Structure 1
């Protein structure tokens, strides 16, 4: 299933009001960890799968990438990216991740931020990325953590006074489609175990170089009780893999 919720005006407006949408990479709690997992981008050919607003494309260009291609299915996302995060080294293309096909060795770095849990066949994407990368190339990605996606409700278990008691995990081993609610709309996500994510990369020929489950920074947790709750369970899974 290829979803394009972001071209719905009401959904796009709600998304644009999220802190990470308005504040960019610095407002994304996992960004410092993801940034550290990226290789040196100077002179590299970079592909961003599910580029959204183009924040990562701009970052890659600022780091000296030779070329940056961002693909996304949403025309609204791409229009914003072209208007706000353009440059001589950056180009954008309207294309579903599932439909992407590139020449062998066309890129040196492929990255994807919080997009691949919307894709049904992660293994196929891994194979396509492996083919598209040059020898020694890197695939760095973030997804919603399987502890977060196991239940479609994606919410805390609350006490009688509305306090957050714990984060329930159920049906963890039952992989597949989850009909979740996001910004007031029904959104299809795909739950996979941590093992499935890692084994799909290995099966495609990658060597896994790093795994991270980042929590909010100490500064963020000190400033917000809600951020302290975010440290009670992992919300993101980050993986860095290399094509040897």
Structure 2
């Protein structure tokens, strides 16, 4: 199968946007998705689509979206043939970077233990029950599923990576028409000043932006009055006003622009109009949290650190430390 019926995939989302005063966004999104899937399709899209459609039919499905692994289960064990078909299809969507997931006993040990990040963030969140949530740079949608597990009313994740979309759809195929969608667009593809969300997450995005203040303003524009921003990003030690700008690469990543100190980050949030900004967690990223696995066989964090001094990146910069900040839009 080579044709992706994106209109059907997103019909519930379009209807939801139209019914909540966002008809103009829905129309804009239709145009963007038509361009993405019909006029400029990714060369691997047919392969990824075939992998999703090759997933076996499974009856009597239940899920647990509150555990470390997003878990799908069934009343009766899968047959050996079903298990083989399942694993073959899921391996057709490698590499798996954000997770973990458990598909009916097939455990996907992803590069990132994204559950560790969720466990650090979750205790400080406002009650997510019934909230409309935007997850910017959502990857495969792992955290979107955890948000739904906490009772979110509607979750929209955005990430331009098409492989992430089909990994997400491999879960949604079994869960059905739940109020979670992943849209393969960039932050700058959103309409300005949406004011549509109760909570907006931006985790692991800010340091990829050439203009971090513009990113904070864009995030602020997505929120309703009183809405909550959950921001997670790389930081470094230093006084207020200090920010590290790598000469070229940071941890082998070319697209890392600014790593502020926590005090600088709080100043940025204040200058962009957020209130009550507070640092709720600062954690060193270790090779236990990010590593190569059988489901992600490429280089990972251990290859990006100085082998003589793993507290530094291979370029000599301070090793990865991530801070989580929560703030409100007045």
User: TM-score under structure 2 normalisation?
Assistant: 0.51
Confirm whether residue 203 of structure 1 aligns to residue 283 of structure 2.
no
Selected match of 1:96 from 153, 178, 186:
186
Q: Give the secondary-structure state (helix, strand or coil) at the position aligned to 1:213.
A: strand
CA–CA distance in 1 between the matches of 2:151 and 2:97? 30
Alignment gaps of 5+ in structure 2: 1-41, 45-91, 102-107, 290-301, 303-309, 312-317
CA–CA distance in 2 between the matches of 1:197 and 1:20? 30
Q: Give the secondary-structure state (helix, strand or coil) at the position aligned to 2:265.
A: helix
The 8 Å contact of residues 73 and 94 in structure 1, kept in 2 or not, is answered as: yes
Counterpart residue number, 1:153: none
Q: Give the secondary-structure state (helix, strand or coil) at the position aligned to 1:137.
A: strand
Q: Judge which range, 106-115 or 190-199, deviates more.
A: 190-199
Counterpart residue number, 1:180: 250
CA–CA distance in 2 between the matches of 1:117 and 1:13? 27
Counterpart residue number, 1:115: 205
Q: CA deviation at 1:181?
A: 4.5
CA–CA distance in 1 between the matches of 2:98 and 2:329? 35
Counterpart residue number, 1:237: 323
Counterpart residue number, 2:85: none
Q: Give the secondary-structure state (helix, strand or coil) at the position aligned to 1:179.
A: coil
Selected match of 2:144 from 57, 68, 74:
57
CA–CA distance in 2 between the matches of 1:114 and 1:8? 27
User: TM-score under structure 1 normalisation?
Assistant: 0.67
Aligned length: 201
Give the CA RMSD over aligned residues.
3.6
- Greater length-normalized contact order (CA 8 Å, ≥ 6 residues apart): 1
CA offsets, 1:36-55, max 9 Å, x none?
Answer: 22211101000000010101
The 8 Å contact of residues 228 and 328 in structure 2, kept in 1 or not, is answered as: yes
Confirm whether residue 71 of structure 1 aligns to residue 158 of structure 2.
yes
Alignment gaps of 5+ in structure 1: 1-6, 151-171, 221-225
**Structure 1 residues 80 and 106: CA distance shift in structure 2, 3 A:** same
